[in-house]
Amino acid sequence: MKHRAQAIVAVHLILRRDDDVLLGLRVNTGWSDGCWHLPAGHLEAGESPLDALVRESAEELGLTLDPAHAELVHLLHYHESPPRLNLFFQVRQWSGSPVNAEPDKCADLHWFSLRKLPTPLVGYAGAALARLRDGASYSEWAEAGSAAR
């Protein structure tokens, strides 16, 4: 019998202001707390990745995103059990100003130059941004490190 993988899907927002990107400092989430990370969220039942991106942007940042302005720029397969498909959408136009709408889960929100990202940064987010800078639309990551392809 075939064993088909059942992957968890997570969407990530690369909100771009010229050469800057918006990152949040995770707290009280139970995963990578104390690290900077892109605004992100898990796909919920019945949602498309774009639905999830629009919902998470509103919940976490108070932003209204037009899905037409979201460009899928990278897919990172995270080797874990279950595996994770991490989708990265870049957005350069939006309505409203980003605010920290979930201060219980995010201690700080800040714009950073893509050339000078903060530490500690969630490893695979930094890897995806670096690979994207190199023009790659696909990469793989395992906790021990990345296996870029």
Structure tokens at 124: 């695979």
Place of tokens 């950073």: 112
Among 78, 88, 89, 94, binds ligand 8DG (CB under 6 A): 78
DSSP 116: S
Establish if 48 lies at the interface with ligand 8DG (CB under 6 A). no
Rounded CA gap, 86 and 135, in Å? Answer: 17
Place of tokens 């899928």: 72
Among 13, 23, 40, 61, binds ligand 8DG (CB under 6 A): 40
- Other residues' Cβ atoms within 10 Å of the Cβ of residue 78: 21
Establish if 126 lies at the interface with ligand 8DG (CB under 6 A). no
106 near 118, Cβ under 8 Å?
A: no
Sole window of 34-42, 68-76, 110-118, 131-139 interacting with ligand 8DG (rule: CB under 6 A): 34-42
Establish if 41 lies at the interface with ligand 8DG (CB under 6 A). yes
Least distance to ligand 8DG, CB of residue 136, Å:
19
Rounded CA gap, 8 and 78, in Å? Answer: 10
Question: Which is nearer to ligand 8DG, 16 or 123 (by Cβ)?
Answer: 123
Site of interaction with ligand 8DG (CB under 6 A): 10, 12, 29, 31, 40-42, 78, 80, 84
